[in-house]
Amino acid sequence: MLFLRHAEIAKKICTFSDEAAMRRRDFLNLAGGALVGGSTSALAQQVYRVAILTPSQTQWQPRTFRDALQEFGYREGVNLKIDVVSGENELGRLPKLAEGVVATGPDVIVAVNTPGTRAAMSATSIIPIVSAVVADPIFLGIVTNIAKPGGNVTGVANLGADITSKRIALLKEIVPSAERIALFMHPDEPITTLQIQDVERSSAALDIKSKAFPMRTLEDLQQGLQQAIQWKAHAVVRLAGQGFALGTETGRLATENNLPSMLLQRRDVEAGGLMSYFADHQELWRRIAAQVNRILKGTSPRELPFELPTRFELTVNLKVGKTLGLTVPPTLLARADEVIE
């Protein structure tokens, strides 16, 4: 009973904080009405607070986000304060951290990835939330309508429905003989299901068999690679989701074990992987900043469409290709956004 009483008190505190944040935001909007017209001088009259709730520091683009907000007229230390709260790769910490963020009454919460978004949604139904780089927002229960989210959450997605099969198809352009594909994923990541379903639907057309290998830690990754080798895998594909911190290690260790790899970010390829193909996260974070700007200027998140990825980035490491004895087709090189030689 004592636990329940504490939970009730905590809920009331969070509700009070949410209402206080709403009153504060309404007052600021009235006091700086010229801001709606885009006046830079109005922006300087008040300090907006944006909270970043992220599973880890590696899962957002601080420089891109800050630079984009600066282009909209916001200056940290002048009319903007950004608080970053990280779970440091421990997803179980996010709900409690989200409650702490809500208690501070920010004007907007930028919730990174699915775990961050779910934690923020559980903590508040009032403070505007911009869900950053999640997968399918309807499948994940974040919104019920892409065009008009209808609640206090909008955002920017980073994963198309058939992106995983496209990634494997690109990998097979370099390694056409690859039939056994090892999928490395975080077992606690809800979007893993979407990606595996996509692979299963496309397996016949791609002429592949796949097997998933879970990883939470570097040790899991090392063990998984040895298991993949025993399974006689021809290539490695890292699925989107948690495990970003292991991206560089996935590519490097795959190459050391003579396995071509399809990764998610340019830096993973620069660290020694074969290739990557995924949504351009710098573009996504600029769009996230644009949504934050519109909310700070008075637009309700319920009226802001949940945006889908439009630009994807392909990176190929020719040096690694040569190490693995592979020839990268000129047609693929011509489509690459970056080629590492």
Contacts of 277 (CB under 8 A, 6+ apart): 166, 167, 170, 262, 312, 313, 314, 315
Q: Give the whole-angstrom CA distance, residue 185 versus residue 191.
A: 10
pLDDT at residue number 187: 85
Q: What is the pTM of this model?
A: 0.79
pLDDT at residue number 3: 34
CA 313 to chain centre: 15
pLDDT at residue number 188: 80
Contacts of 1 (CB under 8 A, 6+ apart): none
pLDDT at residue number 149: 94
Beta 275-279 vs 312-317: how paired, if at all? antiparallel
pLDDT at residue number 42: 52
For each of the chain's 341 residues, which pLDDT tens digit applies?
A: 333 333 343 443 344 344 444 444 444 444 444 444 444 455 557 999 999 999 988 889 999 999 999 999 999 999 999 999 999 988 899 999 999 999 999 999 999 988 899 999 999 999 999 999 888 899 889 999 999 999 999 999 987 668 999 999 999 999 999 999 999 998 887 788 889 999 999 999 999 999 999 998 889 999 999 999 999 999 999 998 765 557 788 999 999 999 999 999 888 999 999 999 999 989 999 999 999 999 999 999 999 999 999 899 999 999 999 999 999 999 999 999 999 98
pLDDT at residue number 33: 42
Q: Give the whole-angstrom CA distance, residue 241 versus residue 191.
A: 7
pLDDT at residue number 186: 86
